[in-house]
Amino acid sequence: MIEHDTTLAGIARSLVASGKGILAVDESTATCNKRFAKLGIAQTEEMRRSYRDLLLSAPGLAGFISGAILYDETLRQSTADGTPFVSVMESAGMLPGIKVDTGTVPLTGGSSEKITEGLDGLPARVAEYRRLGARFAKWRAVVTLGDGLPTQQCLEANAHALARYARLCQDGGLVPIVEPEVLMDGAHLLAECERVTEETLQRVFAALRLYGVALDAMILKPSMVIAGTDAAAQADGDEVARATVACLRRTVPAAVAGIAFLSGGQGDVRATEHLDAMNRLPVAKPWPLTFSYGRALQEPALEHWCGATDHVAEAQRRLVQRARCNAAAACGAYTPAMETEAVIDATYRDAFEPPAEAAFETPLFNERSLFRAV
């Protein structure tokens, strides 16, 4: 029998285990309905349940996915035969997670910047989610780039909310995923995204320290350093990889259990290529670099399914295909040929061959600097 490390640090390590990543299925009802509406899928609780059933029950998914982040509604739902999703995940070896923020609102009256809410009553919700089977949580803050943006108030308020959320989760027995997303919307160049991402992460880690969050029992979910969607020039994959890893090396302590990127609206294959390029870089990365994608994992499956029962098996295959490509990218072992190869079985990931060990530079952070031991 396999012994699992059920400490918070052990759960955090399992989530970023080699060759695995996290599936984000935590779209709120409004977001899920918006995606369904675009494809002409009925926006009902039963259709949302059927869709999440398709995803979480996909054969072979657990070979590449360590855990899935769910929304409140989904955490309480079951498969068509009445088996709770939480049980389905546990039996397959995937950890159930839960989004605990309640969404964003304007930072101040008339502001175009956002603050994330959900701290009120959080300890009681954490306790309930834990009873329901959740083992980790997620909170997303958003940072908008633009003329005079982001403001100091936005960065500071969101950093403190993220840190307080993370501490409350650890106190209540959930591993926090800390997600500060620098949005891709806008015409900013890569260098501007890098400057803002660095400042955002510096403030987030200062706040995490202030709140005594144990770094080895948390996961960072950042956006990649990338030019805005409307930028005059888009950086290539190698530039994105170098800028992102350099920014993380300047800001993220080595003690953090792992880094699992969001995809943020990048195309699915592009998100895979960027993750792969980062893992191939011959520089020291003191944390595992993996994925916690939503759209970049789900889109091919959702677009094929479109609500049709007889499309379920192929939609599941498309999800597992994307999961497999990203799991390979998390080892720096993705190849474009994988896009068309059949997924043989869940153990196929054992065949990933990471690139030959390069002569790594001296790590920037080679000491474990835990803020707090759990």
Which residues of this protein are in contact with ligand 5MM, per CB under 6 A? Answer: 24, 26-28, 31, 103, 140, 181, 262-264, 293-296
3-state SS assignment for residue 239: helix
Cα atoms in the 13 Å half-sphere on the side-chain side of 300: 18
- Between 11 and 260, CB nearer to ligand 5MM: 260
Closest approach of ligand 5MM to the CB of residue 23, in Å: 10
Residue 361 belongs to what H/E stretch?
A: none
Considering the complex, state which of residue 255 and residue 321 has its C-beta at the smaller distance from ligand 5MM.
321
CA distances from 145 to 40, 49, 154, 250 (A): 32, 35, 11, 21
Radius of gyration (C-alpha) of the chain in whole angstroms: 19
Looking at the Cβ atoms of 140 and 203, the one nearer to ligand 5MM is 140
Q: 3-class DSSP state for residue 105?
A: strand
Distances in whole angstroms, Cα of residue 331 to Cα of each of 93, 245, 315, 336: 20, 15, 25, 14
User: Residue 240 or 255: which CB sits closer to ligand 5MM?
Assistant: 240
Tell the smallest beta-carbon distance from residue 268 to ligand 5MM (Å). Answer: 10
Q: Is 164 helix (H, G, I), strand (E, B) or coil?
A: helix
Cβ(97)–Cβ(138) below 8 Å: yes
Give the whole-angstrom CA distance, residue 135 versus residue 11: 8
The residue number whose beta carbon is nearest to ligand 5MM equals 294
Q: Is the dihedral of CA 80, 305, 67, 35 positive or negative?
A: negative
Catalytic position from the list 20, 99, 221, 285: 221
The two three-digit tokens of residue 240, written as one number: 């994105």
Cβ nearer to ligand 5MM, comparing 20 with 371: 20
Task: State the minimum distance, in angstroms, from the CB of residue 31 to ligand 5MM.
Answer: 3
Is 20 assigned a catalytic role?
no
The span from the CA of 312 to the CA of 56, in Å, is: 12
Of the two residues 26 and 276, which places its CB atom closer to ligand 5MM in the complex?
26
CA 50, distance to chain mean position in Å, is 23
Nearest approach in angstroms of CB 150 to ligand 5MM is 16
Q: Which residues lie closer than 8 Å to 27 by C-beta, 6 or more apart?
A: 35, 71, 294
Our CB check for ligand 5MM shows the closer of 182 and 208 to be 182
- In whole angstroms, how close is the CB of 251 to ligand 5MM at the nearest point? 19
From 27, 113, 179, 273, active-site residue: 179
**Angle at 261 (CA atoms; ends 327, 317), nearest 5 degrees:** 40
Check: CB of residue 110 under 8 Å from CB of residue 72: no
From the CB of 139, what's the least distance to ligand 5MM, in Å?
9
- Contacting residues for 72 by C-beta, under 8 A, at least 6 apart: 98, 99
Extract the tokens encoding 260: 């699992």
Active site residue 221: yes
- Residue 29 Cβ, how far from ligand 5MM at the closest point, in Å? 8
> Which active-site residues does the annotation give?
179, 221
